[in-house]
Chain A
């Protein structure tokens, strides 16, 4: 039984019995959507039961949703802002598409960014547009698990779908993440408490280890908490690799990393002797000193452990379809993010074609931002440059980015208003069951219109083929 369900049951028990059952939805036009999918985080839980007020266009209840999921479902209501703004003035859909297409074809170095809160169907169109105009394409992966993607290219990955973790994992290690706050149901639906085929007693049959630089709300879940000095993850991982292989490590390991030799030995022993071990890792590892070296060390540790037992690893991905973005960009170009089509074919170079870099260096002369808000969280130089170039923005809500956009489309929300496909953090593709219709088009519809217009405008000119 899930944690949320337990809480709900407890709440029900505490309620005083009422003499007459009152239907809270009386008089409302209610629709129930079963097995709906929550796209808020990379857990992509597909067991939601949504109670929808069809007339008022909002979700009244999201059964099984975690605190983040409930906020996601409840806060998406129909709003009244204009669908399209050009230079802050209201415009028609066609005018918006025309302006966006003109910006893209006039640019010498158009770039696009975001895509991780968007369906695979939309992502496919986005890559097509950039292929057509020889643009640059990058996703939010470049600022979250991009280093893990690079480490993956270097050392590979032993991994598993989350159901296999549920069915078999008796040792679960979280490294550099705080799922209790970022992915609440990771514990309850997939990796810690659920009972599985060979884990009949759920958490009782598992040992849970948490590795982090500080205690977090996730710490109480763990049987063992291993606190690492900030910036010393790589050293600890490398020491673990050495110990797993029976090699010597420095005597002052505790002084260097904050972790004693005894704790390391104990963890090594547990890792080598478990039946099925899993290492989940978060941005505490990928976005601190060492970056792809950290991810690479962790992936290598998991691979090494297969000489003794079965061991897998998995980055805990953030956005609802960031994994889909990695997959789509990979199958269409061969590379997961940071891809450039300037030469008429895809090239990959993180640091060169990643968005913070093409913006900070002042290279991009137009940008299409889909479902993300770089203007609120990118480095200052990148934001300053964004203010100088024409921005096309597609988002479900007004953001800092949409406020500086030359062309701003309000779009409907994937999973709530529009269907499609998303990929869970373990690459399992999942379908969406929209709850109610929005007055705004989905980003796929906007992108397809832009693509068609771009192609039409370019057909009069010499096609942009390989230079």
Chain B
């Protein structure tokens, strides 16, 4: 029996199909958007409401080993923000790192139907998959951390590019990742091996490997291009949060040599000024480069005032933050693969650097010439919780509100930016691009982020309001795979989303190269490392398009 649904009289924003606020009906059958349904279809009257595709978070940290450490670390955060169960949904706890169930439900109540966990060491991927399976409603995938992988660096040192590409594909396939992630390339070796040092110049050689981070990044981008991954390497540049890091960020973008690359949370990489001195905004040189180079997509990584949690594979960065307040701190080294640092953090509007970062994020949005490539994120929970997206949307859509907001924060910081002169207001269509159509396109998710025939029936319906924060805070309906999960602001049913992953092809011989390395340097057996497909629950393979 097929289930049919139609949404009538709504004002539809579907930028991928050039629909900008047109009153139009949407038809759904069996979880997909179709061109018509029978007269017996269930009807939602969306008169006075805004209909958009379900939102897609291209970069967040929601599941896996480091997230769970951050969760365990902060009981004080959970007890102030409980998440009671309902007749349909599981209970949990919130705060800036919510429990898995609360994460899924709360994403849904923000109108999000897809989210991508951005950093998973392959050896703990099983953990991420288990947590994602316990993260309801949304579809999800994850990016596997390969940028400090000891075996891959060894292949590059030996100049074996072909095997390097094969091994990347093996790793993505073995853990069922979506794409690969590079974080502070080259730093792990110095952090673990040279008494907590960091690599500060992307053109310096990495200890023991005699290759530079720039060469490593370039090689990964090239390999991903040849493998035809739907989303290019997701790059967290070196020198995150350091004054004057724009030169590193520009060098990294140039290393792509015109190939596709995604620059993660670019706000954190847009500092001007000199090393070890007060930071200033370096946004213009970064956003100008992004605007001019269509091979680059980026998410902003907006900072929002209030509680956050720094949670990163960039261990030296967390150590730097730890030494600011000497607060509780987690470091977690993963053998041969990654580092990790976690630190609870609060962004405060009266502090110069915090206000500067907040303003820099807004500058990036407001100077962006292509909303398809400059996407909304807070690098949840690093810049702030995903729960603050509605406030961020209001800051972008309402210049009077923004100007008032910037009058309350550290004025020295605002003086360093162009924010006072910017009157731009995002339109609803542009919001639909930076939260839906853009991320879906950047991810290569052809069935997401739009409402055309054949798309997944992931739909959000908002009551149209002048106060955009209130509007985006509480969708009236959220439809996932054609199922009305939220109805009149309340959960009408539970729903399980699926895992999105890729399966790049590779020559099976590569595993014979990798196995001896495992036996020598890993603490688990090679045979127990790759995750079998029956371990996955509902999942969908997104095709790759390898270059011949």
Contact = CB atoms under 8 A, between A and B. Distances in A.
A376 interface: no
A4 B169 CA distance: 37
Given A331-B131, A331-B134, A421-B126, A196 B528 contact: no
Contacts of B99: 330-334, 346
Nearest to B66: A427
A330 B333 contact: no
A441 interface: no
B525 A35 contact: yes
B401 interface: no
Nearest to A459: B87
Contacts of A348: 75, 78-79
A164 B92 contact: no
B342 to A, nearest CB: 7
Given A344-B85, A430-B524, A430-B528, A312 B331 contact: yes
B195 A37 contact: no
A336 interface: yes
Name, among B150, B528, B531, the residue most crowded by chain A CB atoms within 10 Å (CB to CB): B528
B523 A163 contact: yes
Contacts of A155: 328
A90 B124 CA distance: 43
B528 A427 contact: no
A153 interface: yes
A197 B85 contact: no
A308 B195 contact: yes
Interface in A27-73: 34-35, 37, 46-47
Contacts of B72: 149, 152-153, 326, 330, 335-336
Nearest to B333: A160
Contact of A330 (B68, B520, B523): B68
Interface string A317-346: 000000000111011111110000101111
B334 interface: yes
Interface in B10-55: none
Contacts of A152: 72-73
B383 to A, nearest CB: 21
B536 interface: no
Contact of B524 (A131, A331, A428): A428
A218 interface: no
Contact of B195 (A131, A159, A275, A344): A275
B86 interface: yes
A160 B535 CA distance: 26
B100 A331 contact: yes
Contacts of A46: 524-525, 528
B192 A276 contact: yes
B131 A164 contact: no
B126 A465 contact: no
Contact of A429 (B127, B330, B343, B527): B127
B158 interface: no
A421 B130 contact: yes
B123 A161 contact: yes
B331 A163 contact: no
Contacts of B336: 163-164, 167, 197
Interface in B132-166: 134, 150
Contact of B73 (A156, A189, A327): A156
Interface string A430-467: 11010000000000000000000000000000010110
Name, among A47, A308, A334, A431, the residue most crowded by chain B CB atoms within 10 Å (CB to CB): A334
B335 interface: yes
A295 B124 CA distance: 25
Interface string B307-341: 00000000000010000000011111111100000
A160 B196 CA distance: 14
Given A333-B99, A421-B126, A163 B91 contact: no
Contacts of B525: 35, 46-47
B65 interface: yes
B196 A161 contact: no
A328 B383 CA distance: 26
A190 B328 CA distance: 28
B523 A120 contact: no
B196 A345 contact: no
A46 B525 CA distance: 6
Nearest to B150: A197
B61 to A, nearest CB: 13
B289 interface: no
Given A152-B73, A427-B65, A161 B523 contact: yes
B85 A131 contact: yes
B523 A198 contact: no
Contacts of B101: 332
Nearest to A198: B193
Contacts of A154: 328
Given A335-B75, A345-B92, A346-B92, A161 B330 contact: no
Contacts of B86: 465
Name, among B85, B90, B124, B196, the residue most crowded by chain A CB atoms within 10 Å (CB to CB): B85
B51 to A, nearest CB: 31
The 9 closest A-B pairs by CB, nearest first: A163-B335, A163-B523, A334-B93, A466-B84, A160-B333, A156-B328, A429-B126, A334-B78, A158-B331
Given A190-B523, A331-B71, A345-B91, 5 more contacts: A160-B334, A306-B331, A326-B72, A334-B95, A430-B126
Interface of A: 34-35, 37, 46-47, 120, 124, 128, 131, 149, 152-164, 166-168, 189-190, 196-198, 275-276, 303, 306, 308-310, 312, 326-328, 330-336, 341, 343-348, 421, 423, 427-431, 433, 463, 465-466
9 contacts: A37-B528, A306-B196, A310-B192, A330-B71, A332-B100, A332-B101, A334-B99, A335-B93, A348-B78
Interface of B: 63, 65, 67-69, 71-75, 78-79, 82-87, 90-93, 95, 98-101, 123-124, 126-127, 130-131, 134, 150, 191-193, 195-196, 319, 328-336, 342-343, 520-525, 527-528, 531-532, 535
